[in-house]
A and B are shown apart, each in its own frame.
Chain A
């Protein structure tokens, strides 16, 4: 699987509400301005279609930072 910076790039590119440079590995995305449950769904959907990994709402809630999310996706990919 690609590194976390590629992962961040993809999220920033695909999600309108998130501009380039807004996310760092340590960003707590749920505390971002404009975060909503719809954005949560879009995260899940993006990960599903881009990485063929289905994460559920609970896993998303258990992640605080982008790094946590990346680690979940990476672990599921293996």
Chain B
């Protein structure tokens, strides 16, 4: 058996409310394309009132490290017990070395610790859990640390207000182990389904961010007036296409996860899907005829934190004493950039 034994999340100090997002939009948008937007419009479009932003020089690794230090302290976990670290992010520090190797040193993890990066966004947590489970079931190690951290704010142009409204920077650390631990979460991890459709490449991607068509001087000059200067690339999203993808794929994903685990729809106590956009999630919820109580939407004061949304939601549920009961089944589903999707069920 494989268990999620502990989760901790970390949010950067700086927050941005809808007013601040609009101010940045007005300052940096093309005046000829400027639209009138109110704070309430933003909330009605995505269900978000507040999001987080890392400092300009603070990377996903840095906030990831902070979530791990919090995990060690909050759950009284011995750093020497970690045998493997999986860092999942769309914002790795380098093309080499592996960011997780640097984290081994930062976090003073044992030298005998394995370390890999997984470049995944919205489905990242599902990948992390499945890889951790694989390592444990194949008896390669017993305690795997998953760090999901992203800093999408660094690749969003403030003129792209549909993106700056949604995306948020945060991190979560998760300990996955081969046995239950007293006083810890002890969520049993079931079987996984995965899906990929690379034709979604250009519907959600960060242009000028790596080896394909890297940023040149002319491109950087165009953006040097922006805070941070978009030096790490610029995110592009075709919202209608992404919305359609999610609406077509999420019901299939849920069906497949249920079939894979031989669990009936009615037996699921909670659905925790990637927190992409509150309005979109609510529309999906209604289409699937799932009650509000069973379908977690916690995006209002957090935003879309990419790979970290699912563990952040699970941690919130675990902290809220009246939510999770023993034997509860929680369906987890990630979907988005790639296109990529995947899911599993955990039992409390």
Contacts and interface: CB of A to CB of B under 8 A. Distances in A.
B286 A16 contact: yes
Given A14-B286, A42-B283, A49 B44 contact: no
On chain B, which size bracket covers the interface? Answer: 10 to 19
B247 A45 contact: yes
Contacts of B239: 37, 41
A48 B41 contact: no
Contacts of B287: 14, 49
Given A36-B45, A38-B279, A49 B248 contact: yes
B44 A45 contact: no
B240 interface: yes
Interface in B200-251: 239-240, 243-244, 247-248
A34 B40 CA distance: 11
Given A16-B286, A38-B279, A42-B283, A49 B45 contact: no
B188 to A, nearest CB: 33
A67 interface: no
Contacts of B247: 45, 48-49
Determine the main DSSP class of B at the interface with A. Answer: helix
Interface string A6-30: 0000000010100000000000000
B240 A41 contact: yes
> Most chain-B CB neighbours within 10 Å: which of A36, A41, A44, A57?
A41
A54 B241 CA distance: 10
On chain A, which size bracket covers the interface? Answer: 10 to 19
Contact of B244 (A34, A38, A54): A54
A57 B240 CA distance: 8
Contact of B243 (A14, A34, A41, A56): A41
Nearest to A49: B247
A38 B248 contact: no
Interface in B38-69: 41, 44-46
Contacts of A54: 244
A20 B249 CA distance: 29
Contacts of A42: 279, 283
Contacts of A57: 240
A29 to B, nearest CB: 16
Contacts of A34: 44
A63 to B, nearest CB: 15
B286 to A, nearest CB: 7
B279 A45 contact: no
A8 B132 CA distance: 49
Nearest to B284: A45
Contacts of A14: 286-287
A57 B238 CA distance: 11
A45 B45 contact: no
Contacts of B41: 36
A37 B244 contact: no
Contacts of A36: 41, 44-45
Contacts of B243: 41, 44-45
A41 B44 CA distance: 13
A37 B279 CA distance: 12
Interface in B254-280: 279-280
A37 B42 CA distance: 11
Nearest to B243: A41
B286 A38 contact: no
B278 to A, nearest CB: 10
27 contacts: A14-B287, A16-B282, A16-B286, A36-B41, A36-B45, A37-B45, A37-B239, A38-B44, A38-B45, A38-B46, A38-B279, A41-B239, A41-B240, A41-B243, A42-B279, A42-B283, A44-B243, A44-B244, A45-B244, A45-B247, A48-B244, A48-B248, A49-B247, A49-B248, A49-B287, A56-B240, A57-B240
Which 4 pairs, one residue from A and one from B, show the smallest C-beta to C-beta distance? Answer: A45-B247, A38-B45, A41-B243, A38-B279
Interface of A: 14, 16, 34, 36-38, 41-42, 44-45, 48-49, 54, 56-57
